[in-house]
Amino acid sequence: MAASIPTATRSFIKFIGSELWFSTGYRTPSKCLTRTLSTQSVASTDSEVTRPKRRAEKLSAAMKAFLKRAKEHESKINKYTEEYELGRKHLANMMGIHPDEMTQEHINEAIRYLLPSGLFDKGSRPQFKHPKDILPLNFDFPFDKAGRPYHYQYYTLLPNYHCIMSEAAWRMECLREEEVRIGSTGAPPQEEMKHLSEEYEWMDLRTFLNYFKSNHSEVVQVNEHNRFVILMTKLSKMRLREQDVAFLKQFGSPKTSEINVMDTEEIKKFYVNEQGRKFRTKNGYRKSAIAQVTVYAEGEGILEINGKGIEYFESQYAREQVLFPLVLTSSLNKVDVHARVEGGGEMGQSGAIRHGLSNALLPFVSQQMVNKLSLSGLLDRDSRVKERNKPGQKKARKQFQWRAR
Amino acid sequence: GACIPSLSQQKTYKTDIKAKVVNPRPLTVTRIYEKKVILKNAEAAAALAKEEELSDKKEKINVYKSFHRDIAEDNALKNPDFFKVKEMVDLHTLFKNRVHFGHHHGCRHPFVVPFLYGVRQNTDIFDLDKTLPRLHNALNFIAHMVYRGGVVLFVSRNAQTMPLVEYTAQKCGEYSHCRFWKGGLLTNIDYLYKNLTRYPDVVVFIHTQNNFSHEHAAITECAKMLIPTVGIVDSNCNPTLVTYPVPGNDDSLDAVKLYCKLFEETILRAKEYRKRDIEELSDDSDES
């Protein structure tokens, strides 16, 4: 057997072991219970055991080690604060300011002047701050006197991250059970349950990493962030109670703010007719076709191309190209279009009209639609042109017949 | 009716025959005393004595050195069922919660064979007459450890039951680790944790296997660090390194709910008793 085992556990083993000794057909190797790292001499253990009364409370070794480290940390901080305050007074004297009126901005400016550095990394440039801002302050003692940790997931190395994830998973389980109960019995729900009206946006990678580093001093990886986003989106798509919505709002917010791709004043420019009608003309280009398109707002749906209607184009594809921007913005019968086209062929002319039309529609359409149009690519000039012929080849890509010799 | 095992199965099955103890010896624990080396040379002996004196004075970082007993354990050990564990579980409740179902007989682990009653429709069936006393022993052991202020760690790597297990651990005031087990968590503890941490005193496995149906890495680590383990062993699991194996089903939700409920009950009961007994002692004994 291993090292010395106190008598209380010895009697415990005897009691338990006797039951198991004869009941099992085989024996497992790890029947030795409890473990002691100590190599205490015999005399000390005997003296402990003979006294059944309670001894004075002793601190655990973990607590002792922490107190030692905390004292060292404190002494360090005290030393650095003394140096800092001395230096601060000298700096104030040099600058000609009273030390009480000196702020951190003054100090930063002074340091940049006195100790200029060309280093790119701002963290490695010389700083002059209070040691509390520089040295790590999170010196929490995560367990009590007996050595028992406070957090129930301390033994996973990222307790707070896993606590959040397990809480979300537990909420999902509860909600699923509720749904099953409601569906099977037809009873009303115990609390009000609603779907979320808006789609939620979750924490950025950077904010996520900073959240755990600054609050709990835990180093989290990108994988953890991905899993977090997946779990939260799953939870947000269920029918939620009020407490679940409050839980989710800690980590995300509804997607209200849109990225405005084009927000310049030029887009919103339009002119006014003699008759008081708003209009805008824009040129459209495709291959060698040039089109001038004017769009009149508050119209009936008139479409004119070189004096003719949509019948100017014979093929269905060309007609669709012209009508597509109007269909997207749902302004078929709200807008009048007059277009003049020259050059190119059928397809080129239709593409040019499309280009001009979508650029001319912008002031008469919402910002959301402007973003959509720009992202779809309708506002870009299609730069594809016929590829030139190359010498030694028949056409742009076609080559002469291969000969063996 | 139960299906009759075939001839091949008859050979492999071993019934629970009581072993004939030829030379009965009581279960004693031997202590390893420090060897006293008798040296002829007096100088060498004096040098050794000096070293021993110095080594006693040096502070050895030892988590259990100052382990103080705040409860008189003799009272708890007199009664075989001090925590009334046998009232918690019945054979009928085990059957009702489908604890007797194992896996397909092709998945059977050879060391689980003694715990099996038979096979029915290609599924192994556990012998509940063997699981029940083992379950009682396991619960009793956990209760005793918690009574003395021990740290219990719940381990499981099943995604379906993970929230349940973590919730029970939180409720009891104990600890859980149902995530990816980083190698060396217990064997290389000083490297992974910033602070000097306390080892768990009991590790309870609700699923002894991990995601890839291999043995969980924590079982070998606990065996190496001599941490006693309680584990629910299914018919495809290896029970050898678990100190208190409880053969039973770990796949059905009902069974896992039952286990969680039982562990929670025992732990809370043991903590109640601890609170009560500490208070009683503090009134009686003189503070030394």
Q: Is residue A367 part of a domain?
A: yes
> Going by C-beta distance under 8 Å and a sequence separation of 6 or more, which residues neighbour residue A219?
A158, A212, A213
User: A28 and B225: CB-CB below 8 Å?
Assistant: no
Question: How much of chain A exceeds pLDDT 90, in percent?
Answer: 60
Determine the structural domain holding residue A277 and report its residue range: 271-375
Q: What is the pLDDT of residue B103?
A: 96
Q: What is the pLDDT of residue A255?
A: 81
Considering the domain architecture, whether residues A324 and A356 belong to the same structural domain is answered as: yes
**What distances in angstroms separate CA A54 from CA A63, A331, A391, B204, B286, one per listed residue?**
20, 88, 103, 30, 8
Q: Of A47-51, A151-155, A181-185, A378-382, give the lowest mean pLDDT range.
A: A47-51
**Beta bridge partners of residue B87, listed in sequence order:** none
The residue of chain A nearest to residue B181, with distances taken between CA atoms, is A156
CA-based nearest distance B194→chain A, Å = 10
Q: Is residue A400 part of a domain?
A: no
Task: Quickly tell me which residue has 């001093």 as its tokens.
Answer: A217
B128 vs B135: CA distance, rounded Å: 10
**What distances in angstroms separate CA A209 from CA A215, A221, B134, one per listed residue?**
10, 8, 46
A334 vs A140: CA distance, rounded Å: 67
Considering the domain architecture, whether residues A289 and A226 belong to the same structural domain is answered as: no
The residue of chain B nearest to residue A140, with distances taken between CA atoms, is B195
In the predicted model, what is the mean pLDDT of chain A?
83
B243 vs A362: CA distance, rounded Å: 76
Q: What are phi and psi of B174, to 5 degrees?
A: -115, -165
Q: In this predicted model, what pLDDT tens digit does every residue of A225-284 receive, in sequence order? A: 999 999 999 999 999 999 999 999 999 988 866 667 777 788 888 889 889 999 999 999
What tokens does A118 get? 């060309």
Q: What is the pLDDT of residue A27?
A: 38
User: A53 and B286: CB-CB below 8 Å?
Assistant: yes
The residue of chain B nearest to residue A170, with distances taken between CA atoms, is B163
**Beta bridge partners of residue B151, listed in sequence order:** none
Res. A382: pLDDT tops 70 = yes
User: B287 and A56: CB-CB below 8 Å?
Assistant: yes
How many C-alpha atoms does A91 have within 13 Å on its Cβ side?
Answer: 25
Instruction: For chain A, positions 230-249, list CB contacts with chain B under 8 A.
Output: none
- Angle between helical axes of A205-216 and A222-236 (0-180°, round to 10): 110
Considering the domain architecture, whether residues A226 and A163 belong to the same structural domain is answered as: yes
For chain A, how many structural domains are there in total? 3
Domain boundary among A226, A254, A282: A254
Q: Is residue A78 part of a domain?
A: yes
Considering the domain architecture, whether residues A108 and A166 belong to the same structural domain is answered as: no
Q: What is the pLDDT of residue B277?
A: 85
CA-based nearest distance B181→chain A, Å = 8
pTM of the model: 0.60
CA-based nearest distance A158→chain B, Å = 10
**Beta bridge partners of residue A308, listed in sequence order:** A305
Residues of chain B positioned with their CB less than 8 A from the CB of A18? 27
Instruction: For chain A, positions 260-289, list CB contacts with chain B under 8 A.
Output: none
pLDDT band at A25 (very low <50, low <70, confident <90, very high): very low
Considering the domain architecture, whether residues A117 and A192 belong to the same structural domain is answered as: no
Confirm if B165 and B152 have CB atoms less than 8 A apart.
no
What tokens does A327 get? 């269909």
Q: What is the pLDDT of residue B88?
A: 96
Nearest to B2 by CA among B162, B157, B124, B174: B124
Q: Is residue A337 part of a domain?
A: yes
Task: Quickly tell me which residue has 């004196």 as its tokens.
Answer: B53
CA-based nearest distance B243→chain A, Å = 6
User: B77 and A60: CB-CB below 8 Å?
Assistant: no
Q: Is residue A266 part of a domain?
A: no
What is the CATH classification number for the domain harbouring A313?
A: 3.30.230.10
Q: What is the mean pLDDT of each run of 10 residues along chain B (288 residues)?
A: 49 54 52 53 72 57 48 81 95 97 96 96 96 97 93 96 96 96 93 85 96 95 95 96 96 97 97 84 44
What is the pairing mode between strands B229-233 and B202-205?
parallel
Res. A95: pLDDT tops 70 = yes
Considering the domain architecture, whether residues A164 and A111 belong to the same structural domain is answered as: no
Q: What is the pLDDT of residue A215?
A: 85
What tokens does A28 get? 């497992």
Res. A308: pLDDT tops 90 = yes
Q: Give the per-residue SS3 of B174-211.
A: CEEECCCCCCCCCCCHHHHCCCCCCCCCEEEECCCECC
CA-based nearest distance A1→chain B, Å = 6
* A392 DSSP 8-state letter: T
- Angle between helical axes of A242-249 and A159-185 (0-180°, round to 10): 150
Q: In this predicted model, what pLDDT tens digit does every residue of A66-94 receive, in sequence order? A: 677 778 878 888 899 999 999 999 999 99
Q: Is residue A62 part of a domain?
A: no
CA-based nearest distance A367→chain B, Å = 45
What tokens does A160 get? 């707070």
User: B140 and A16: CB-CB below 8 Å?
Assistant: yes
User: A152 and B175: CB-CB below 8 Å?
Assistant: yes
What is the pairing mode between strands B152-155 and A303-305?
unpaired
More confident residue, B16 or A299: A299
Q: In this predicted model, what pLDDT tens digit does every residue of B146-183 receive, in sequence order? A: 998 899 999 999 999 999 999 999 999 999 999 999 99
Nearest to A65 among B163, B196, B282 (CB): B196
* Chain B CB within 8 Å of residue A52 CB: yes
* Chain B CB within 8 Å of residue A59 CB: yes
Considering the domain architecture, whether residues A370 and A277 belong to the same structural domain is answered as: yes
Count of pairs with CB atoms under 8 A, one residue in A, one in B: 184
B152 vs A363: CA distance, rounded Å: 68
What tokens does A365 get? 């359409």
The residue of chain A nearest to residue B241, with distances taken between CA atoms, is A30
Q: What is the pLDDT of residue A248?
A: 96
Res. A354: pLDDT tops 90 = yes
What sign has the CA pseudo-torsion B238, B242, B247, B248? negative
Residues of chain B positioned with their CB less than 8 A from the CB of A173? 163-164
> Going by C-beta distance under 8 Å and a sequence separation of 6 or more, which residues neighbour residue A386?
A287, A396
Q: What is the pLDDT of residue A251?
A: 94
B66 vs A33: CA distance, rounded Å: 19
Considering the domain architecture, whether residues A245 and A277 belong to the same structural domain is answered as: no
The residue of chain B nearest to residue A40, with distances taken between CA atoms, is B65
Q: Name residue A320's amino acid.
A: E
Q: What is the pLDDT of residue B59?
A: 45
Q: Is residue A43 part of a domain?
A: no
Considering the domain architecture, whether residues A187 and A281 belong to the same structural domain is answered as: no
Q: What is the pLDDT of residue B201?
A: 92
Res. A47: pLDDT tops 60 = no
The mean pLDDT of A133-158, rounded to a whole number, is 81
Confirm if B76 and B204 have CB atoms less than 8 A apart.
no
What is the pairing mode between strands B175-177 and A200-202?
unpaired
Q: What is the pLDDT of residue A9?
A: 46
Q: In this predicted model, what pLDDT tens digit does every residue of B254-287 receive, in sequence order? A: 999 999 999 999 999 999 999 888 765 554 444 4
Q: What is the pLDDT of residue A36?
A: 36
User: A153 and B175: CB-CB below 8 Å?
Assistant: yes
Considering the domain architecture, whether residues A290 and A332 belong to the same structural domain is answered as: yes
Considering the domain architecture, whether residues A171 and A219 belong to the same structural domain is answered as: yes
Nearest to A62 among B63, B173, B240 (CB): B63
Q: What is the pLDDT of residue A214?
A: 84
Q: What is the pLDDT of residue B66?
A: 41
Look up the ipTM and state it.
0.75
Q: Is residue A52 part of a domain?
A: no
Max Cα–Cα distance, chain A, nearest Å: 115
Considering the domain architecture, whether residues A275 and A250 belong to the same structural domain is answered as: no
Instruction: For chain A, positions 3-42, list CB contacts with chain B under 8 A.
Output: 3-5, 8, 10-23, 25-26, 28-42
